[in-house]
Amino acid sequence: MFEDKNQQRTSLSEFGEFRLIEHLTQYFPVKHKTTTKGVGDDAAVLSSSEDETVITTDLLVEGVHFDLSYMPLKHLGYKAVMVNISDVYAMNASAEQITVSIAVSNRFSLEAIEELYAGIQLACETYGIDLIGGDTSSSTKGMIISITAIGKAAKESIVYRDGAKPTDLIVVSGDLGGAYLGFQVLEREKQVFEVNPNNQPDLSNYSYIIERQLKPEARKDIPELLKELDVKPTAMIDISDGLSSELFHIAKQSKVGCKVYEEKLPLDPQVISTCEEFQLDSTMVALSGGEDYELLFTISISDYDKIKGNPHFTVIGHITEENQGLHLVSRANQEIALKAQGWNAFSNE
C-alpha cells in the first residue's frame, strides 16, 4: 500500500511541455456535442446552447489536501475530478467538460503522471465528461492540481444556496462521516509504517471508509433522481467541508436558521464501529468530518411524499426563521447551538 509501484522511470525533462500534454491527453475522446474543439489548439471551443453554463474550479495541493504516502496517484486523479464535478451537481446541473492543470516537481516520473491521468481518464469515462484542455508546469514543492469543471442546466432547473425557506425540510444523500474516518485510519497506519516499514496493515475492516476517503463518488445520480421525482430543491450544496459548515452556508445565503436532529443523521455501521474504536463522537464526526461529497439540500414540505422512503435520501431536520439560529437537537431533546467547524485549509492544526 505504501510502496512505489513505478518500476520504470522516465524523467519529465525528456518531454517538452506540449509533447507531455499531447502524450497525457491522447486517449481522451470527445463525448459532448457542445465540445467543438478539445485539447490541441490555443484554446478549447464550446458551442453555446440555450442552457445556463455552470463553472467551478478547485485547487489541490500536496501536503494540504492530499498525502501521497497513502494516496495512490490513480486514486488522486479520480478524486480530483470528483471534487470538482460534485460542485456542478450541487447546482442541480450536469457536468460536461473539465480542464486539468498540474505542476510537479522533478521527483515525479512520466510513469507517475501517467498514473494520475489514468485516474482522471477513468473519472471522465465513468461520468461522461470531456477533458478539453489544461496546462503542465514545474513545481519547487511537490504536486499541485487545478481542475475546472463546466456543466449545463436549464435556467429554471439551477439551484442556488439562497432559496431555503422556513418549514422547508433538510435532506442529505447517502451517509456521513466515512471519509473523515478513512483519513484517520490511513493517518494512523502511516505513523505505524514510519516506525516499522515491514509492518503491512490489515485494512479489511475499514474498506468502506477508506474508499470514501481515497475514491469518493460524486452524486451525479441525485439531480437525475430529483428530476424523475419532480422535486426541485429550494437550496443545495455539496458536503466537502462538513455538514455543519454547509448548513451555515445555506443559512447565511438564505437568511434562515435550522434544526437538525441527532437521531436522524445517517451513519454507516462501519462509521459507528470505527468511532467507538477511535473514541470519537459519531455525531461530531458526521457534523464536522467533511469530504463526503454527498448533497445537502432543502425541499418544500409539500414535496415530502415524493422522497419519503427513498433509500438515497434522509430528512435530517427543517429550516426555521433566521432569529432562531442553527441548532442540533440531541437524542435527549436538548438544543445545542451548531458551530461551523468543518475542515479549513488555512488552519494551523
The predicted-structure confidence for 148-190, as pLDDT tens digits, reads as follows: 999 998 989 999 999 999 999 999 999 999 999 999 999 999 9
For the chain, how many structural domains are there in total?
A: 2
Task: Give the integer Cα–Cα distance in Å for 189 and 212.
Answer: 16
What is the H or E stretch that residue 70 is in? none
**Strand locations in 111-210, DSSP E?**
130-138, 144-153, 169-173
Is pLDDT at 349 greater than 90 in this prediction? no
- Residue 81: domain span: 12-153
pLDDT for 19: 78
Least confident among 3-7, 42-46, 223-227 = 3-7
pLDDT for 344: 56
On whether residue 1 sits in a domain, the answer given is no
Angle separating helix axes 178-195 and 269-278, nearest 10 degrees: 50
pLDDT for 2: 39
Domain end point (choices 88, 118, 153)? 153
On whether residue 39 sits in a domain, the answer given is yes
Q: Rounded to 5 degrees, what are φ and ψ at 329?
A: -95, 115
pLDDT for 200: 78
Grid coordinates standing for 110? 512520466
327 and 199 in one domain? yes
On whether residue 231 sits in a domain, the answer given is yes
pLDDT for 330: 95
On whether residue 111 sits in a domain, the answer given is yes
The DSSP 8-state label assigned to residue 8 in this structure reads S
Mean pLDDT estimate for the chain: 90
95 and 19 in one domain? yes
pLDDT for 339: 85
Task: Give the integer Cα–Cα distance in Å for 177 and 127.
Answer: 24
Q: Rounded to 5 degrees, what are φ and ψ at 116?
A: -55, -45
Alpha carbon of 314 to those of 145, 295, 340: distances in Å?
33, 11, 21
Least confident among 102-111, 194-203, 278-287 = 194-203
The predicted-structure confidence for 182-197, as pLDDT tens digits, reads as follows: 999 999 999 988 888 8
Cβ contact 98:149 at 8 Å = yes
Task: Give the integer Cα–Cα distance in Å for 163 and 195.
Answer: 51
What is the Cα 344 distance to its own chain's centre?
15
Cβ contact 340:248 at 8 Å = yes
202 and 116 in one domain? no
**Reported pTM:** 0.89
As a whole-number percent, the residues of the chain with pLDDT over 70 amount to: 92
Where is pLDDT greater, at 48 or 71? Answer: 71
pLDDT for 88: 95
Q: Rounded to 5 degrees, what are φ and ψ at 26?
A: -70, -20
Domain end point (choices 126, 153, 180)? 153
Q: Give the length of the chain.
A: 349
227 and 98 in one domain? no
211 and 117 in one domain? no
Range with top average pLDDT, 44-48, 257-261, 344-348:
257-261
145 and 194 in one domain? no
